[in-house]
């Protein structure tokens, strides 16, 4: 029993010593880990030095084309439609004959009017001769003054009848000319609304339409918010409009190609649209080859505005948090600093930075995910050309 009593305390002491050794080993390992963390190298980030430049601003809008001169081709007289003399959907020239109506009834009316004119001219000549004989007889007092007055009245009445007959002849000639229906403009024709042999009257007088292709109108809309933002940026000096606001309009086709002719703004609606809250804008664009057709959807690029002293940053350098957009900058001590900024529109793959940055500052463009405020960093300059100004890039709305 004495040996067992002595063995119990010895085992307890050995257990305590073992526990102390294990704890000491863990503490040493933790201290070693802390030492390793504290001596970890600073993260490497890629920075871009801010340079202010004048940047052309290009706004892009969805637009639709419209003929600048759309003409309804209508019959001016009633009668039977004899022939259609044009190819539907083809481009027709000015004064080209499109339809021919039956001219025979109108030729007969013209002949009748000419015969009536000849009869009135004969009656007028008789009245003139009668007046010529009456005048000397009245002077000789062989006839009374009343006889002279009657002869004068008959001659003047005959003259009026001749004028009326001439007007009827002109009307008949016009009606006959209206049976040959021509295009008043050069443009693209539509389908024929009436078939050959149809009796044309005022109820079905529309025969076709012709739409001028050059110049062609391009219509698009600007929202109220966008217009207000545009005015505010001009007033703050963040945007400079072209002289006399003579913007250049470039047309982008559905396949991404550029229309070879540019246009100018020719009309702006003076009031907002009640349903959409937008301004209607119209541009006139030359289209001699007929590439653009009426009611075609295109994109209109509005060029001419300039952002003076603009700052551009790649999109990946700009982050967004609960309080808005922010970036990371590197100070003179190579420490990271979080900076709130005010962004504008996109310019290609870059952001316009309106407030929060100045020229010469270094902005982190790669390696932002591991940064914390005040963290030392290892700086590498951005040599990839990101953030450079590209005058052909467009603002994305």
Q: What percent of the chain has pLDDT over 90?
A: 58
Contacts 24+ apart (CB under 8 A), 251-259: 251/63, 251/218, 251/285, 251/292, 251/298, 251/299, 251/300, 251/301, 252/60, 252/298, 252/299, 252/300, 252/301, 253/291, 253/298, 254/297, 254/298, 259/285, 259/287, 259/291, 259/292, 259/298
Q: Could you tell me how many helices (H) and strands (E) the chain has, helices first?
A: 4, 23
303: nearest Cα among 350, 268, 265: 265
Q: How many residues does the chain have?
A: 397
Of residues 233 and 8, the one with the higher pLDDT is: 233
Question: Does residue 34 have a pLDDT over 50?
Answer: no
153: nearest Cα among 120, 119, 130, 122: 130
Measured between alpha carbons, how far apart are the two ends of the chain, in Å?
95
CB 371 within 8 A of CB 45: yes
CB 124 within 8 A of CB 159: yes
Contacts of 254 (CB under 8 A, 6+ apart): 297, 298
Crossing angle of helices 145-177 and 104-139, rounded to 10° = 160
pLDDT at residue 383 in the model: 56
pLDDT at residue 90 in the model: 94
How many CA atoms within 13 Å lie on the side-chain side of 300?
Answer: 27
- CA separation for the pair 131, 118 (Å, rounded): 20
> 61 phi and psi, to 5 degrees?
-135, 150
Question: Does residue 5 have a pLDDT over 70?
Answer: no
Q: pLDDT per residue over 288-323, tens digit each?
A: 989 999 999 999 999 999 999 899 999 889 999 888
- CA separation for the pair 17, 19 (Å, rounded): 5
Give the SS3 label for residue 69: coil
**In the chain, which residue ranges form alpha helices assigned H by DSSP?**
2-38, 104-139, 145-177, 224-235
CB 80 within 8 A of CB 322: no
- CA separation for the pair 131, 148 (Å, rounded): 7
| CA dihedral sign, ordered 113, 114, 115, 117 | positive
| CA dihedral sign, ordered 103, 108, 109, 114 | positive
pLDDT at residue 388 in the model: 38
Q: What percent of the chain has pLDDT over 70?
A: 86
Strand spans (E) along 334-390: 336-340, 342-347, 350-355, 362-366, 378-381
pLDDT at residue 386 in the model: 44
pLDDT at residue 65 in the model: 97
CB 266 within 8 A of CB 246: no
pLDDT at residue 39 in the model: 52
Question: Does residue 42 have a pLDDT over 90?
Answer: no
263: nearest Cα among 246, 250, 272: 250
Contacts of 100 (CB under 8 A, 6+ apart): 81, 82, 83, 85, 179, 180, 181
Please give the domain boundaries of the chain with CATH numbers for all domains.
44-55+310-381 (2.40.420.20), 59-67+213-305 (2.40.30.170), 76-102+179-211 (2.40.50.100), 105-172 (1.10.287.470)
pLDDT at residue 25 in the model: 52
Beta-ladder partners of 341? none
CB 95 within 8 A of CB 182: yes
Question: Does residue 251 have a pLDDT over 60?
Answer: yes
């Amino acid at each position: 029993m004495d040996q067992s009593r002595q063995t119990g305390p010895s085992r307890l002491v050995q257990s305590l010593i073992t526990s102390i050794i294990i704890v000491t080993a863990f503490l040493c390992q933790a201290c070693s880990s802390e030492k390793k963390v504290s001596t970890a190298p600073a993260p490497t980030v890629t920075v871009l030095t801010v340079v202010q430049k004048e940047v052309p601003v290009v706004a892009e809008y969805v637009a639709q084309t419209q003929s600048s001169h759309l003409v309804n081709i209508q019959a001016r007289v009633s009668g039977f439609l004899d022939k259609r003399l044009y190819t539907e959907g083809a481009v027709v020239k000015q004064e080209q004959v499109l339809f021919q109506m039956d001219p025979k009834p109108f030729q007969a009316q013209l002949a009748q009017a000419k015969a009536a004119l000849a009869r009135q001219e004969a009656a007028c000549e008789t009245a003139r001769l009668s007046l010529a004989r009456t005048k000397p007889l009245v002077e000789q007092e062989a006839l009374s003054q009343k006889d002279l007055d009657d002869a004068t009245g008959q001659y003047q009445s005959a003259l009026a009848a001749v004028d009326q007959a001439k007007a009827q002849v002109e009307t008949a000639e016009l009606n006959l000319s209206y049976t040959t229906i021509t295009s008043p403009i050069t443009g693209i024709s539509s389908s024929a609304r009436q078939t050959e042999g149809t009796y044309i009257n005022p109820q079905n007088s529309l025969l076709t339409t012709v739409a001028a292709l050059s110049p062609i109108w391009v219509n698009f809309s600007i929202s109220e918010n966008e217009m207000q933002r545009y005015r505010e940026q001009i007033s703050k000096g963040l945007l400079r409009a072209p002289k006399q606001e003579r913007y250049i309009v470039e047309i982008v086709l559905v396949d991404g190609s550029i229309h070879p002719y540019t246009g100018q703004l020719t009309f702006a609606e003076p009031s907002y649209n009640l349903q959409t809250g937008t301004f209607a804008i119209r541009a006139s664009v030359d289209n001699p080859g007929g590439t653009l057709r009426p009611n075609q959807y295109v994109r209109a690029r509005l060029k001419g505005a300039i952002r003076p002293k603009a700052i551009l940053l790649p999109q990946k350098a700009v982050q967004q948090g609960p309080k808005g957009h922010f970036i990371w900058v590197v100070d003179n001590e190579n420490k990271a600093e979080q900076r709130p900024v005010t962004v504008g529109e996109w310019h290609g793959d870059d952001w316009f930075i309106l407030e929060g940055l100045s020229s010469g500052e270094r902005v982190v463009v790669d390696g932002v995910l591991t940064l914390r405020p005040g963290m030392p960093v290892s700086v590498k300059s951005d040599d990839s050309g990101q953030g450079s100004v590209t005058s052909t890039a467009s603002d994305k709305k």
